[in-house]
Amino acid sequence: EVQLVESGGGLVKPGGSLRLSCAASGFTFSNAWMNWVRQAPGKGLEWVGRIKTKADTGTSDYAAPVKDRFTISRDDSKNTLYLQMSSLKTEDTAVYYCATGAATGLGYWGQGTLVTVSS
Amino acid sequence: DIVMTQSPDSLAVSLGERATINCKSSQSVLYSSNNRNYLAWYQQKPGQPPKLLIYWASARESGVPDRFSGNGSGTDFTLTISSLQAEDVAVYYCQQYYSTPPTFGGGTKVEIK
């Protein structure tokens, strides 16, 4: 059974940093493109970014609102995806989901972790 | 970026009746080399993460009931629930994954009339 479990969310002040983790199991993590998607309270879904497999260059892409502030990385030896967030803004407040996916949509999602940016 | 526009924002349908959600993309999401539309539909129930229903615009994900169907090509797509069940109350999103960044529609809330 595929499982994605996010952790690391919490309350952080504007300008602060936070690192989210997503522990994966039940599939070959190293073969999966991995994504982060967020959802502000009461709002819709917003793609944050993704990281390709090492076989597909291992590079990352980001949405414009987070580019140069967020960094996605992966540790295939630990089956874990990361989202390093810095220079956080109040508008980054959201539930952050990790999700697998590439050519057939985002197939598996975690339950999400809440990040609240507030003074 | 490709803009995805869903309509309506919400709809109320009687149990057993048909529900239709529309999704329009600002440019074509049809990849000519394989003739596939890079369009997915998701269902999100309250307090839960989204769930993939449809990919390639019309391919049903494993385990998804056949009352859910997707249609369309190019820039215009629909998700149809042929006979609405109580458990289908949710918000539905379309998403294009033709180009980066992948973008979502604003969502359509489906309720029971």
**pLDDT value of position B12:** 98
**Looking at the predicted structure, is the pLDDT value of residue A46 above 90?**
yes
Residue A97 in contact with partner chain B when CB distance is under 8 A: yes
Q: Are A97 and B50 in contact (CB < 8 Å)?
A: yes
Residue B25, beta-bridge partner list: B4
SS3 A91: helix
Average pLDDT over residues A114-119: 98
What is the rounded average pLDDT for all residues in chain B? Answer: 97
Of A101-105, B29-33, B72-76, the one with minimum mean pLDDT is: A101-105
What tens digit of pLDDT does each residue of A74-108 get? 999 999 999 999 999 999 999 999 999 878 899 99
- CA distance, residue B113 to nearest chain A CA (Å): 22
Between chains, do B107 and A110 touch, taking CB under 8 Å as contact?
no
The DSSP H or E segment spanning A99 is strand A94-102
- Tell me what the pLDDT averaged over chain A comes to: 97
pLDDT above 90 covers what percent of chain B? 100
Average pLDDT, stretch A26-41? 97
For A14-30, write each residue's pLDDT tens digit: 999 999 999 999 999 99
Interchain pair A47, B106: CB under 8 A: no
- A-B CB pairs within 8 A amount to 58
Average pLDDT over residues B21-31: 98
Whether residues A104 and B56 touch (CB distance < 8 A) is answered with yes
DSSP track, chain B: ---EEEE-SEEEE-TTS-EEEEEEESS--EETTTTEE-EEEEEE-TTS--EEEEETTTEEPTT--TTEEEEEETTEEEEEESS--GGG-EEEEEEE-SSSSPEE---EEEEE-
User: Which residue out of A2, A4, A45 would a mutagenesis test of the B interface target, given it has the greatest number of B Cβ atoms within 10 Å?
Assistant: A45
Exposed/middle/buried for B63, CB within 10 Å: 0-12, 13-18, 19+? Answer: exposed
Inter-chain CB proximity B104 and A64 less than 8 Å:
no
Mean pLDDT of all residues in B39-68? 97
Q: What percent of chain B has pLDDT over 70?
A: 100
